[in-house]
Amino acid sequence: MVYLDYAATTPVDPRVREAMTPYFSDDFGNPSSVHRYGQRAEAAVDEARESVARTLNCRADEIVFTSCGSESDNLALRGVAQAMREKSGAEWIITNRAEHPAVSKTAEDLEKHYGFKVEWLDVDATGTITPEAVEKALCDKTAIVSVMYSNNEIGTVNPIREIAAVCRARRVPFHTDAVQAAAYLPVDVQALGADLMSLGGHKFYGPKGVGALYVRKGTPIYQVITGGGQEGGLRAGTSNVPYIVGFAEALRLADEERESRAAHVQPLRDRIIGAVLEEIPDSQLTGHPVSRVPNHASFVFKNVDGNLLLQMLDAAGFACSSGSACKTGNPEPSGVITALGFDRDWALGSLRVTLGAGTSPADVDAFLKALPSLVEKARSLSER
């Protein structure tokens, strides 16, 4: 099998696994315990928090460890929306339909069950949210704005710095889902200007089941998971010590090796994009042609069943996606693709190809040799 779905998840880096191993066995204590076992575990969590803070260029007490990027998104939207409503009566959430479901579905839930109102911003044809669109939507009762750093389905990188500046001028908390971006884009929160930023470890060669939320000091936010006082009172539950250690090491390596990792995947990605658009009739690139993460190629093919194409690719030895891993297998078009303005006959035929450390030129050669005939076959079967 050739794995071409690194946006869905990545294998754990051996260096990350090595850093985690002692905390499964030798230093297995609960960080909340006062004895030496607990003290060693607590020290590991504190060191991991400091490491993440160095990478993000923030204070250690601004890092909240969570179970994943989705939990981080939920804490950001739910926690800030509730706090802002109590503080100032703010009731509007500004986001867009191209967000990851962890944001869009959370906004829908807050509207349906908790009385908030949602302003859904339009994306342009490349899937970009503009600062002007955000500025136009802001009002005195805006509780939070959430715009993702880079899109998981189409790879587009949003102008986060400019959007953050617009929100800061109006004193509105700004959250960005950087789960997909952190593997290849800078995550210096001072440079980006975000008040909250979500991360997930398994997108940059860390373990599944751990994430983090950066919360700028002074940002109004309530806890979502109640219980003990862990994570500054914002996230109750016994700390997952080995995974937190692994998350911190994976993020450190991603930051340290960012340029070399991008230099490996970007030429391969560009080759895929060029070949697909040239060789396959009725194909279009989705997302921004330039402002996109360096490992990400995504397309739509007219009159093709995307899920059928995925099955055929899998049988031929290639693991790809039709968009978000959360959407794979869903017979309906992706909300992200339809937000770009594609009709159903195009939107159903989406394909996402994402590269990583293990992708070789030979893998790309084999994929590009196989894909055109598979698309043609899927198209003929779809039209029956």
Q: Is the dihedral of CA 301, 307, 313, 318 positive or negative?
A: positive
Quote the strand ranges of 117-221, DSSP E.
Answer: 117-121, 142-146, 174-177, 196-200, 211-215
**pLDDT digits 0-9 by tens, 190-227:** 999 999 999 999 999 999 999 999 999 999 999 999 99
Considering the domain architecture, whether residues 340 and 225 belong to the same structural domain is answered as no
Q: pLDDT (tens digit, 9 = 90+) per residue, 244-269?
A: 999 999 999 999 999 999 999 999 99
Predicted pLDDT of residue 325: 52
Domain count, the chain: 2
Both 160 and 210 in one domain: the answer is: yes
The structure tokens listed for 310 are 């995925």
Catalytic residue at 326? yes
User: Which of 58, 68, 139, 326 is an active site residue?
Assistant: 326
16-36 pLDDT, tens per residue?
999 999 999 999 999 999 999
Go through 56-90 and write b for each residue having 16 or more CB atoms within 10 A of its CB, e for each that does not.
bebeeebbbbbbbbbbbbbbbbbbbbbbbbeeeeb
Residues 245 and 263 in one domain: no
Amino acid letter, 303: N
What is the pLDDT of the chain when averaged over all its residues?
A: 96
Domain end call among 193, 226, 256: 256
* pLDDT tens digit sequence for 227-242: 999 999 999 999 999 9
Same domain for 263 and 207?
no
Residues 166 and 63 in one domain: yes
Task: For residues 298 and 252, state if they share a domain.
Answer: no
Q: What is the pTM of this model?
A: 0.96
